[in-house]
Chain A
């Protein structure tokens, strides 16, 4: 008993000291909290509150009863989902489209950065960079519009070229076998230039004296590119690769919504377009939310794993 009492007495004074410290702190720094508060409230209202709403994935959601009062039904939506061929197909398509984008799209910005680096004329370099960054800033709607126009069966430039070469017109956007090629190709066209910025910045960080000593040693530019530039930017390449693998479930679905049609669903329907159709078009909110939750959880695990690995690889964290 005595021990306890004395303990409390000792404990009292630091606590009140802490309190005075806090009062002084807020008197001095209250402005910081005023600056922080609106954004935190925004995050709670627009990003964390929907997380509470995710519970409808386990509920028989009724618009009239609301999120909280709808009855729980456990994992039923998930059973439904995994018995649904369309959902399984969407998962498969997501991974295939993403994987193809990674496989074909990942090396392009690196090559582009290496090529930019070898350009001697600064004006040419600047102009070329300005142009290849541009498509990144153009909306999915316009890019899709361009694709639709260019691949149109009778008037599009692609078919005009095919005709000129003696082939028949192909209505590309109704052919499931063409969808992935067109989508991945468009993605590369749109983003390769912009994605090269990261690698260019990494190249800019290479110690110039490495090149100077290589020149003195008689290395050709080709050799320098392979033996100096590429190894020096390897860590960046590795990190970017890990990030991309971590984001494999992320597909530019705005573009897919623009480009796909029922005829091509077999290859074009991905998880997010599936959710969009089931949830927002067919109003099956609970089922679509379950699909979204499944997607988000897998994506979360992948991203965390990617970040952990990249931390280990480079001791550089992404955030």
Chain B
């Protein structure tokens, strides 16, 4: 945006406009941030202070009792480990499917390219829905298994199309030059296209990681065994207990933690990994999203 950067050149009205606008954006930003601060404060407050309604912004009587409770709960660690398994395993599996497929679909010499593309894009418009998908997973014997969660959600049309669009936008001479240099398709993809498509692949990786990390519905439906459940399902159990039985927390009045503080602590533990990877990939997704969204 090449608007004038020097404020001294602005008229009084423009200056007022700029400051009011800045104020409003700041307000929106703070209101986005506030709930996270609130939850963090809850997690670090005395259970008693929370149940007696003292925590609004900052922690009251700082204590890590809730975190201690979480840390010594083996179910938390099991679900945390499971989430890592699903996220890492699932993301790698997704990339192993999506990247080569998107590359193949982007090559003009691929026979039936148009039909394969339609076959993939069609699933964005129409899908069989929850029940047939569930029954299919059951028939495939993928209920209650790690494999079911990892393989069953490996691909989606949007990510494939996003990446395919990026590969299509690479000038054909890159492939041709590599071919003349003796590279086959595997080498062209691995040595030329993947390095070139780093922003798009980073975007897709981010989408995969986020959806794996956050996914709970199908984990809840497909997994029965407590030892295979991911963090989000465990978290949901905690939270629904909280909302179903609001009075229950008062029985813990004397304790340093309450249901509120414990579930807040779990929420914080679940958000932290997202916060850690977020800045690294954030720079890529502006570009990546535009690529996926609209295509000439």
Contact = CB atoms under 8 A, between A and B. Distances in A.
Interface of A: 25, 29, 31-36, 38-40, 42-43, 45-47, 49-51, 53-54, 56, 67, 112, 115-121, 124, 127-128, 130-135, 137-142, 144-146, 148-150, 152-155, 157, 159-161, 163, 173, 189, 193, 197-198, 200-201, 203-204, 208, 211-212, 215, 220-222, 239, 253-254, 257-258, 261, 272, 275-276, 279-280, 285, 288-289, 292-293, 295-296, 299-300, 303-304, 316-319
Given A46-B133, A148-B243, A299-B125, 13 more contacts: A25-B111, A34-B100, A35-B103, A49-B136, A53-B136, A112-B25, A145-B39, A149-B242, A153-B246, A197-B290, A200-B286, A221-B17, A316-B296
A91 B11 CA distance: 53
B144 interface: no
Q: With a 10 A CB-CB cut-off, give which of A39, A200, A201 has the most chain B CB atoms.
A: A39
A115 B131 contact: no
B131 A152 contact: no
Contacts, number: 294
Given A279-B134, A289-B129, A292-B130, A258 B239 contact: yes
B249 to A, nearest CB: 7
A115 B264 contact: no
Contact of A155 (B2, B35, B50, B121): B50
Contacts of B260: 149, 152, 155
Contacts of B21: 115, 118-119
Contacts of A317: 295
A298 to B, nearest CB: 11
A141 B271 CA distance: 11
A124 to B, nearest CB: 7
Given A119-B21, A155-B260, A280-B131, A29 B50 contact: no
A139 B270 contact: yes
Interface residues of B, number: 110
Contacts of A261: 243-244
Interface string B120-140: 110111111111111110001
B252 interface: no
A17 to B, nearest CB: 16
A198 B290 contact: yes
Contact of B32 (A134, A142, A212, A296): A134
Given A29-B110, A153-B246, A154-B53, A132 B135 contact: no
Nearest to A66: B139
A304 B290 contact: no
B239 A145 contact: yes
11 contacts: A36-B100, A38-B101, A121-B22, A141-B239, A142-B267, A149-B242, A154-B246, A198-B290, A253-B217, A275-B129, A316-B295
